Structure 1
Amino acid sequence: MDQLLSVEQAAELLGTTVRFPRRLVAERRITFVHVGRHVRIPRSALEEFIHQGTVEASRSAAS
């Protein structure tokens, strides 16, 4: 089973405030799980979110 992170733990992993992962959940931009009344975010969902936002460096052509 994938590790489930609290919103606070997700924010710490992303290096953001708690507001950012809460917004991701509210906008349904990231997978999340309701555990009773608590919201948990699977670690794999955060890793996928980071992967999708990664921009590879490109080499510019020499002039």
Structure 2
Amino acid sequence: MQTASTNIFERIGLSQELSEIKRGTVLGCHLCNKSICEISLLLNIPRSTVSGIITKWKQLGTTAI
């Protein structure tokens, strides 16, 4: 069940942070040579988010926030 605050976020376009597991899944897909577009479609998250996670991992060696 969704809370009222979640519905408000969805209506005004704000999103919540991805879980550590989902960020790790993005990285795992990247390491398996999936493209950013493929990862985005597979996990149903924006390409810009996928790209940001991969870029941060390359620069800092972590996907932690």
Q: Give the TM-score of the pair, scaled to structure 1.
A: 0.38
User: Which has the higher Rg, Structure 1 or Structure 2?
Assistant: 1
If each structure's strand is expressed as a fraction of its own residues, which one has the higher value?
1
Greater RCO, 1 or 2 (C-alpha within 8 Å, sep 6+): 1
